[in-house]
Amino acid sequence: MAFDSLSEKLQNVFKNLRSKGRLTEADVKAAMKEVKMALLEADVNFRVVKKFIKGVEERAIGQDVMNGLNPGQMVIKIVNEELIALMGSETTEIKFQPGSAITVIMMAGLQGAGKTTTTAKLAGKFKLKGKKPLLVACDVYRPAAIKQLQVNGEKQGVEVFSMGENHKPANIAKAALEHAAKNHNNVIILDTAGRLHVDEEMMAELQEIKDTVEVHQTILVVDAMTGQDAVNVASSFQEKIGIDGVIITKLDGDTRGGAALSIKAVTGCPILYAGMGEKLSDLEQFYPDRMASRILGMGDVLTLIEKAGQEMDETKAREMAQKMKKAQFDYNDYLESVKQMKKMGGLASLMNMIPGMNQMKNQGVDAEEGEKRMARMEAIIFSMTEEERANPDLLNPSRRHRIAKGAGVDISEVNSMVKRFNETRKMMKKLPGMMGGKKGRMKFP
Ligand code: GDP
């Protein structure tokens, strides 16, 4: 995930600071030098970095350390607040036209940025808000783009309006508006054509759409993997046609993440959503405060909880929590929890959101290895009978032999899995106290 390397470097800087009793001006300056290097290496815009460091330094030097914090934590607090400010402080929502009026949204961006995919992802979000979106295929140069929009629209259960390749995008937009009025759609999302580079022709085409229909929101889609190019693209679009917001895609990839930190500061345009994967559900609202927490390795518990709420069946979640409390957790519950976890993006993505887990990753705790281990555990459980799954205490040596044979693994592996499972059950019994109890409350850092 983006920011891994930045996150690791920042945490090292803070670790060094934390070991100090008091912070001198020289300490702060030395630490800020390292933060500056880390941000530049993360591909954050140079001018943005300069301003950011100046802001943090001014606040950190000469500031009284707050009650309950050590000087290192104080600096983290300031860096956190400044990171949030850098990304725009507030979450920006896409504005809809009031009443039953139709909101027209035009998607723009270079080819391959993820425009068509994001258009379909957005439609899903709008549906959840009770809207009735209509997707419009205005990319008339790539027949594959029309098909792609149709396929994704169908997956989302959203209608796609297309007139093929032989009409001007502006005319398609106009016809789509008439169609939407008859069809009671209240949001139209125009998927426009991209080019490999910013060029006059593309801008002219977008402008023509804007001149023909009233576009309420122009949203630019940029690819985080392209780093500072994404920021330059955003500046060009802002200058030439004007944009209301940016969606940054592929933040799940191995990008250094600098674009996400620079776009608002350079263009003045807020980031609305972040694309976190290829699946149509992989679009997250952009919360500057949660993103800052992720970058600082403080986890993003709120997004995790929301994801759990969206993906998990609520009754199942409640049942499972009850079972955990009473240590009645069995192998069926384990299978269910693995299933839910996969739905939420797997172990690696969850590790980024849980406080402290990111540090574990840096210490060599490997999500991939964990996932492999989970797959073997699943294979073993699949070799159990229904009765055994529901009652872990039944697993005597002869049953374990049979299970090992069925799963094609050594008996020692079954034994160690059963042992770990029983230990986990015991731990779960204690867990509610650990999380909520006064003494055991989890704390950062
Ligand atoms: P367009 O040319 O701008 O319409 O781009 P597409 O929507 O066709 O996307 C280009 C590629 O990027 C496709 O393979 C998408 O699956 C992929 N993609 C889009 N958004 C994301 C994202 O957030 N994460 C990842 N990993 N891939 C994405």
pLDDT one-digit tens code per residue, 193-245:
998 888 889 999 999 999 999 999 999 999 999 999 999 999 999 999 999 99
pLDDT band with cut points at 50, 70 and 90 for residue 433: very low
Instruction: Choose the residue to mutate in 278, 279, 283, 285 for probing ligand 1, maximizing ligand atoms within 8 Å of C-beta.
Output: 278
What is the rounded average pLDDT of the residues 426-436? Answer: 54
> Is the pLDDT assigned to residue 66 strictly greater than 60?
no
Ligand 1 atom closest to the Cα of residue 276 is 23
Closest CA to ligand 1's atom 20: 114
For residues 147 and 195, the model is more confident at: 147
Rounded distance from Cα 166 to ligand 1 centre (Å): 25
Closest CA to ligand 1's atom 5: 114
Instruction: Choose the residue to mutate in 117, 151, 191, 233 for probing ligand 1, maximizing ligand atoms within 8 Å of C-beta.
Output: 117
End-to-end CA distance of the chain: 21
CA quadruple 385, 387, 393, 396: dihedral positive or negative? negative
Closest CA to ligand 1's atom 9: 114
Ligand 1 atom closest to the Cα of residue 121 is 20
> Is the pLDDT assigned to residue 364 strictly greater than 70?
no
| DSSP states of 333-357 | HHHHHHHHHHHTTHHHHHHHHSTTH
What is the rounded average pLDDT of the residues 335-340? Answer: 77
Read off the tokens for 280: 């149509």
Rounded distance from Cα 223 to ligand 1 centre (Å): 8
Read off the tokens for 400: 């374990």
What is the rounded average pLDDT of the residues 70-75? Answer: 73
Beta-sheet pairing, 271-275 with 283-285 = antiparallel
CATH match of 303-436 with 1.10.260.30:
yes
Rounded distance from Cα 221 to ligand 1 centre (Å): 10
- What lines the ligand 1 site, CB under 6 Å? 109, 111-117, 194, 249-250, 252-253, 275-278, 282
Q: Quick one: which H or E segment has residue 309?
A: helix 301-311
Predicted local distance difference test score (pLDDT) of residue 302: 54
> Is the pLDDT assigned to residue 39 strictly greater than 90?
yes
| C-alpha separations of 31 from 10, 85, 87, 303 in Å | 9, 20, 22, 30
Instruction: Choose the residue to mutate in 249, 254, 284, 349 for probing ligand 1, maximizing ligand atoms within 8 Å of C-beta.
Output: 249
> Is the pLDDT assigned to residue 308 strictly greater than 80?
no
Torsion-angle region of residue 162: left (phi > 0), alpha (psi -120 to 50) or beta? beta
For residues 269 and 295, the model is more confident at: 269
Rounded distance from Cα 115 to ligand 1 centre (Å): 7
What is the rounded average pLDDT of the residues 347-358? Answer: 59
Rounded distance from Cα 405 to ligand 1 centre (Å): 43
What is the rounded average pLDDT of the residues 253-278? Answer: 92
Residue 215 is which amino acid?
V
**Contact, 202 vs 193, CB < 8 A?**
yes
Report the alpha-carbon distance of residue 152 to residue 25 in Å, rounded: 55
Closest CA to ligand 1's atom 2: 112
For residues 135 and 427, the model is more confident at: 135
CATH topology match: 103-296 vs 303-436: no
For residues 386 and 119, the model is more confident at: 119
What is the rounded average pLDDT of the residues 122-142? Answer: 94
Predicted local distance difference test score (pLDDT) of residue 211: 96
> Is the pLDDT assigned to residue 14 strictly greater than 60?
yes
Three-class SS of residue 159? strand
pLDDT band with cut points at 50, 70 and 90 for residue 15: confident
- What does the DSSP 8-state code read for residue 162? -
pLDDT digits (tens, 9 = 90+) for 102-114: 999 999 999 999 9
What is the rounded average pLDDT of the residues 315-327? Answer: 65
Predicted local distance difference test score (pLDDT) of residue 174: 97
Expressed in percent and rounded to 5, the helix, strand and coil fractions of the chain are: 60, 10, 30
> Taking the domains of the chain in order of start, what are their residue ranges?
4-86, 103-296, 303-436
Tell me the pLDDT of the chain averaged across its residues.
Answer: 84
The crossing angle, in degrees rounded to 10, of helices 411-436 and 367-382 is 120
What is the rounded average pLDDT of the residues 4-18? Answer: 83
Residue list, annotated binding site for GTP: 109-116, 191-195, 249-252
pLDDT digits (tens, 9 = 90+) for 394-419: 999 999 999 999 988 899 999 988 98
pLDDT band with cut points at 50, 70 and 90 for residue 421: confident
**Contact, 367 vs 348, CB < 8 A?**
yes
Rounded distance from Cα 116 to ligand 1 centre (Å): 7
- What does the DSSP 8-state code read for residue 251? T
Ligand 1 atom closest to the Cα of residue 119 is 7
What is the rounded average pLDDT of the residues 305-330? Answer: 64
Predicted local distance difference test score (pLDDT) of residue 384: 92
Rounded distance from Cα 345 to ligand 1 centre (Å): 17
Rounded distance from Cα 170 to ligand 1 centre (Å): 24
**Contact, 269 vs 243, CB < 8 A?**
yes
Ligand 1 atom closest to the Cα of residue 221 is 3
What is the rounded average pLDDT of the residues 334-338? Answer: 79
Query: To which CATH superfamily is domain 103-296 assigned?
Result: P-loop containing nucleotide triphosphate hydrolases (3.40.50.300)
**Contact, 283 vs 94, CB < 8 A?**
no
Architecture of domain 4-86: Up-down Bundle (1.20)
Read off the tokens for 21: 């009793």
**Contact, 111 vs 226, CB < 8 A?**
no
Q: Which of 164-178, 304-318, 345-359 has the highest mean pLDDT?
A: 164-178
> Is the pLDDT assigned to residue 275 strictly greater than 80?
yes
